Every structure is written in structure tokens, then in C-alpha cells.
Structure 1
Amino acid sequence: MTPPATKEAEARSARGVAAGPAPGRVAARRRIPWHVVVGLAVLVCAGLLARQHWPVIATGAARLEQADPGWLLLGAMAATSTWAVSAVAQQGAVPEPLPSGRLVAAQFAASAANHLLPAGAGAGAVNLRFLTRCGLTVPRSATALAVKATAGALSRGALIALLALGGPGLLRLPPGSALAVAAALLVTGALAVPLCRPLRRAVRTVLADVRAVHRLPGRAVALWGGSLAFALLHSLVVIAVTRSLGLPLPPGRVALAYLVASSAAVLLPTPGGIGSLDAALALALVLAGAPTAAAASVVLGYRLLTVWLPLVPGLVTLGLLVRRKAL
């Protein structure tokens, strides 16, 4: 005979199965993250713009076929070097030594994963998994990624300031850009007010890790040197593509255009900046003096060297790292 308690438990279980999952759980499953919605919206807008300006893009692609292969080879070498300097910067953000070979491979895989998820989530997930596999706790790993990202943003800002001050005529802003920047700052400030306490805790944690890293001079040099080199190498890729197309633009102006465009594209959470960085870089090059068709060619060449050619090998590397349990 089955005890009454068992019968009651079976009845409750049957009622739970019949009732199905709780409404809150169903709503949570159906809820789509906001950054996915924004990223898809930006990609759709980019596709519509591409369709509208397809003759310009087609002309740019045809012009790219006549580019100087020597300059394109230099751009490819610079693009390849970005993974090594990214590994150097990541090592600089962590006091503990990391396995150098797997660290470089992880950066290569992270660059490929970064083009599949919005707002750098792919690269962040790969690096977070790699650091935890190396023995760091999840909070320590997340802080190390925040330290690296902060160093990268500050390095990019320092380069923009140096180039703008070194060549007063290099930076040409479109009309109304000051109002757009002011509006963006106001919106950012308004959004940050409710998050003041969590932000303060996060900043304190990051500053503590920054101090720990700077107690080791070698790590500090790796962090800041790798971050600066990463931005400079990406700028060199764009400069090499402009030179391969015979555009008579000063290298400093091209580098400044890329740095400003990449900084602005961070605000739009598209996978790998596809769409947002393309539009911002094309606009920055046009403001720097490049014809519209030539600017489209430069963007296509930059994307070819930094995204499309390394994408499949990067995904293969990602799969190998996962299979070998390095991620």
C-alpha cells in the first residue's frame, strides 16, 4: 500500500506537470535582451543603407581589385600582429603568468567570436573562459577584462588627443556634432545615475587590480604597450589600404579618422562593429578628404583584412581550443 504522503507528493507533481512552467519563467524565456534588439536594428539599418548606396559600394569593390598588393600585404601583416599585441595587453592585466601560446590562440579565436555576438560579448566570453581555465576566479577574470578594456579606451583617447593637438587641421567634425556629443553625454549621465553604487563598487575593484598590476613594472609595460600597439596597428591597416588605393591622404589624418570612428562605433552594440564601424569609418574618411567611392573601398579593404579572411581560421581555432578544454 502506498503511504498517504507519497500519494500527496505524486498528486502535487502531477498538478505541476499539468499546470506547466510558471508564467514568470515563460516570460523570462521569451524576454529578448535589449542589446540583441539594438544590434539587429543597427544591422537592418546598415543593410538598408547598403542597398540604397549599392552603386557606390560596387564601385568601391571594383576599385579595390586594382589596389597595390604590396600595401595590402603590409596591412595583412599589421592585422595579424594585432592578435599578438592583444595577448600582450591581456597578460599585462593579470599579475599571474599565462601560457603564451594558448593566450595568442585565444585572442585569435576571440576576434572571430567577436563578430558573431554584439558589443564585444563574443571576445569577452572567450577571454573570460580562458582566464578561468588558467585558474583565475570568475570575478578576477572579469576584472582583468575590465582593466584591459579601460587601458584600451584610455590609449585610444590619448592617441586621438595627440594627433588632434599635433595637427590642428586633421580633425574635421560634421555640423551639429557638438550637439550630438553633448546629448550623448547627457543620456549617459542620466543612465549612470541609478547605477552609481554598483558602478562605484566596480570601479573600486578595477582600481585595486590596476594598482596590483602596476606594482609589477613588466606587467604595466605590457598592459599599456599592448593597448597602444593594438590601436596603432589597426590604424596602420587603414593607412595601408588607403595607400594601396593611391589616396593622397596624410597618414595622421587617416589614423585619426579610424580612431575617432572606432571610438564612436563602440556606442552601437553590433557584432564586431559591423555596420556601425563601417558607417562611422566611411564618414570619417569622407570628412578627411576621401571621395565617397574611395572611402567605401577603404572600408571594404579594412574589413577584408581584419574580419573576412581571418574569420574561418579563427572559428576553427575556437573549436580546437574548446575541444582541448583550453576554453
Structure 2
Amino acid sequence: MSAPSPLAPPPGSPVPEAPSRPVPSPSGRSLRLALCLAPLLLAGCWAVADRPVLYEGARRLVAADPRWLLAGFGCTCLTWVAASCVRQGALPDRLPAGLLLASQVAAGAANHALPGGLGAHAVTVRFLRARGVPLDRATASIGLYSLVKAAAKTLVLLVLLTVSPAWRRLGGLLPDGTELVPAAAVAGGLVTGVGVLLTAVRPLRRPVTALVRTALADARVVHALPCRALALWGGAVAMPLVQAGSLGCVGAALGLELPWPEVALAFLAAGTAMGGAPVPGGIAVDAALVWTLVAFGAEPAPATATVIGYRVVTDWLPLLPGALVLSALIRAKVL
């Protein structure tokens, strides 16, 4: 008969219970539920307050020209191609084109859950890690993607401001100087706080410094390769143009009666002003876009219908195929 193990409890002693997982407090669950429902509550309040405009917009969307709506969906599909080009251009490693395009289709579905493109970035990082790209270089490519995308969007906006006379109407949409002071103070405080943290906390400074060093090294490599630089900047410039093209097609289907340059300018101006709002689904951008289209001379009903149709064509119609592609990539262990 073998001797009992010295690590075993004595015979007859109570068996210790396994540590249980901490149960979230009711207040914590309530807070998370409130944060998840806040965008829906805001959208519901807006719909209740503007019932006549919303009803007229939905009625116009049902009677819209399906050919223009199909063209708008085609522009939405082109955004996946443009995003794939920018993702490939931001990384020196060659990625499989088909799987990269599929990952961007799936990333569009993931963007419904998280604001600011975080869902798409998370899917892309998992895709790059599965392709053998180290985590620091995958994260650095996300930073380069975001930086180039913002720079290209600003460049396109400046060009449209130069060629379109409608830029004068944007002056009435800008807040007064007194309203900009608190926003500037908050932004300055955030930048100062981040700088102090990076300077004082060494365990935080080291990984951030290494990430910046990796990003700069990869940026030099991709800009030394003409094909990568063309994919990076060409895709970044094409992305806002095809997005604005989708909005213009939906507007043409609904009788918006605004020239395409003004529609594109309204789209870029609203996205630049409200794109950083931490709200999933682009609710803040949609409200700003309706406001900007009306300021450019559109009637409220067709402007609202155009924005609703744009959201249907660019978000809700691609949601089902995007979710199916995301599930297929997970089952195939591509993500």
C-alpha cells in the first residue's frame, strides 16, 4: 500500500473549496448596461423628437431609385478594397490578398460593437498575428494606418474646400471661440497627462518607446517600396472618396438635389468634426451630417432620408455578410 503524498490533506480533514470567481456587483452591471444602452437611448430620443422628419425620410427611402442604391452599395464594397490596400501598405510583410480582403469585410461587422474603429483594429491585429506578424509590428501598422488615413482625409477635405464655393457655409456651423476654450483645455490636459505618465512611469515608457521605434522603422521600409507607398496613400485617399460616393449615390436616389462636391464636403466636414465621438454606430456623425446637409441647402426630409439610407447601405446591408465572413474566418482559424 503506497504512502499518502505529503501534499495531500490528512484523512478526515475537509476538502478546501476551489476559489470562486468574483461576482460583479449590481452597481457595476448596471453601469455597463447603461453604457451599452446609452447610444440606443440617444437615438430613440432623437427619433421621438423628430417623428415627422423621420417618417418622411423613411417614406422617401422606400420609394428611392434602386439603381442608385445599388451603386451606393457598390461604393461600400470598394471601401473594403481601399481598406485592404492601406492595411497592406502599412506593413512591409506581404499578406494574402484574398484573406486580407475577407478580414476587412469581417472588420466592418466588428465595428458595430466598438467605437472609433476599435473593432476593425482588433480583427486586423488578430489576422496579422495569425499570419506570424509580431505583436509590436502589428500594433505599429495599426498606428501607421490610422495616421495616414487621417492625413489623407484631411488632404481630400482641403482640396474640396478649395474647389467648392460651399465652404463659406461651414462658418455658421463652427462653434464660437468661447465654446472652444473648454475643449482646448481638456485636450491640453490630456496631452499633458499622457506626457507626464510617459516621463515618470518607466514601465510604461519602455513599451511605448519601443512601439514608436518599431513604427518609425516600418514606416521607412514601406515608403522605400513604391508598391507599398502607393497602396498606403492611394488607398487612404480613395477611402473617403468612395464613402462620399456612396452618400452621393443614396442622395441621388432620394432627390437630395445637392452637387456631388458639396455632398462630399458635408460628409468629410461632419466626419472630421464628430468622428472622435465615442459612440458606436456613428450616431453623432449622422446627426452632424444631417445638420451639415441642411446648412448646404438641402431640405430636412431628404437630408434625413439620405443619411438613413447611407447608414443602411454602408452598415446594415453589409452586416450579415460581414458577420458570416467573421464566423467563417474564426472557424478556419484565420483569426
**Residue of 308, 311, 317 corresponding to 2:316:** 308
Q: Which residue of 2 aligns with 1:193?
A: 192
RMSD of the TM alignment (CA)?
3.0
Alpha-carbon contact 1:286-1:295 (below 8 Å) kept = yes
Distance of aligned partners of 1:60 and 1:214 in 2 relative to their CA distance in 1, 3 Å threshold: same
Alpha-carbon contact 1:128-1:141 (below 8 Å) kept = yes
| Identity value in percent | 38
1:113 is aligned with what amino acid?
A: A
**Residue of 234, 253, 266 corresponding to 1:244:** 253
Distance of aligned partners of 1:164 and 1:26 in 2 relative to their CA distance in 1, 3 Å threshold: same
Alpha-carbon contact 2:166-2:296 (below 8 Å) kept = no
Q: Which residue of 1 aligns with 2:118?
A: 121
Distance of aligned partners of 1:243 and 1:5 in 2 relative to their CA distance in 1, 3 Å threshold: closer
Please give the alpha-carbon distance, in whole angstroms, between the structure 1 residues aligned to 2:185 and 2:144: 25
SS at match of 1:248: coil
Is residue 2:101 matched to residue 1:104? yes
Q: Which residue of 1 aligns with 2:151?
A: 154
1:88 is aligned with what amino acid?
A: C
Please give the alpha-carbon distance, in whole angstroms, between the structure 1 residues aligned to 2:178 and 2:43: 23
Q: Within 5 A, what are the aligned runs for 1:36-115?
A: 40-115=37-112
Q: Which residue of 1 aligns with 2:332?
A: 324
Alpha-carbon contact 1:151-1:223 (below 8 Å) kept = yes
Q: TM-score, normalised by structure 2?
A: 0.85
1:89 is aligned with what amino acid?
A: V
Structure 1, residues 84-141: CA drift from partner, whole Å, max 9, x if none? 1111110000101000001001100100111122332221111111011111011211
Please give the alpha-carbon distance, in whole angstroms, between the structure 2 residues aligned to 1:91 and 1:218: 10
Q: Which residue of 1 aligns with 2:182?
A: 183
In the TM superposition, residue 252 of structure 1 has moved relative to its aligned partner by 1.3
Distance of aligned partners of 1:178 and 1:65 in 2 relative to their CA distance in 1, 3 Å threshold: farther
Distance of aligned partners of 1:6 and 1:267 in 2 relative to their CA distance in 1, 3 Å threshold: same
Q: Which residue of 2 aligns with 1:265?
A: 274
SS at match of 2:262: helix
Please give the alpha-carbon distance, in whole angstroms, between the structure 1 residues aligned to 2:129 and 2:316: 29
**Residue of 279, 282, 285 corresponding to 2:293:** 285
In the TM superposition, residue 318 of structure 1 has moved relative to its aligned partner by 0.5
In the TM superposition, residue 163 of structure 1 has moved relative to its aligned partner by 1.3
Q: TM-score, normalised by structure 1?
A: 0.87
Q: Which residue of 2 aligns with 1:220?
A: 229
Deviates more, 1:91-100 or 1:75-84: 75-84
Please give the alpha-carbon distance, in whole angstroms, between the structure 1 residues aligned to 2:152 and 2:36: 26
Deviates more, 1:59-68 or 1:37-46: 37-46
**Residue of 209, 219, 232 corresponding to 2:218:** 209
Alpha-carbon contact 2:290-2:307 (below 8 Å) kept = yes
2:306 is aligned with what amino acid?
A: V
In the TM superposition, residue 228 of structure 1 has moved relative to its aligned partner by 0.9
Please give the alpha-carbon distance, in whole angstroms, between the structure 2 residues aligned to 1:35 and 1:142: 27
Distance of aligned partners of 1:153 and 1:40 in 2 relative to their CA distance in 1, 3 Å threshold: farther
Distance of aligned partners of 1:96 and 1:36 in 2 relative to their CA distance in 1, 3 Å threshold: farther
In the TM superposition, residue 46 of structure 1 has moved relative to its aligned partner by 2.2
1:316 is aligned with what amino acid?
A: L
Please give the alpha-carbon distance, in whole angstroms, between the structure 1 residues aligned to 2:176 and 2:36: 23
How many aligned positions are there? 321
Stretches of structure 1 that go unaligned for 5 or more consecutive residues are none
Alpha-carbon contact 1:120-1:272 (below 8 Å) kept = no
Please give the alpha-carbon distance, in whole angstroms, between the structure 1 residues aligned to 2:178 and 2:37: 26
Distance of aligned partners of 1:13 and 1:266 in 2 relative to their CA distance in 1, 3 Å threshold: farther
Distance of aligned partners of 1:235 and 1:109 in 2 relative to their CA distance in 1, 3 Å threshold: same
In the TM superposition, residue 30 of structure 1 has moved relative to its aligned partner by 7.9
Structure 1, residues 187-233: CA drift from partner, whole Å, max 9, x if none? 12211212122697355543332222111111111011101111110
Please give the alpha-carbon distance, in whole angstroms, between the structure 2 residues aligned to 1:320 and 1:191: 40
SS at match of 2:173: coil
Distance of aligned partners of 1:35 and 1:241 in 2 relative to their CA distance in 1, 3 Å threshold: farther
Q: Which residue of 1 aligns with 2:201?
A: none
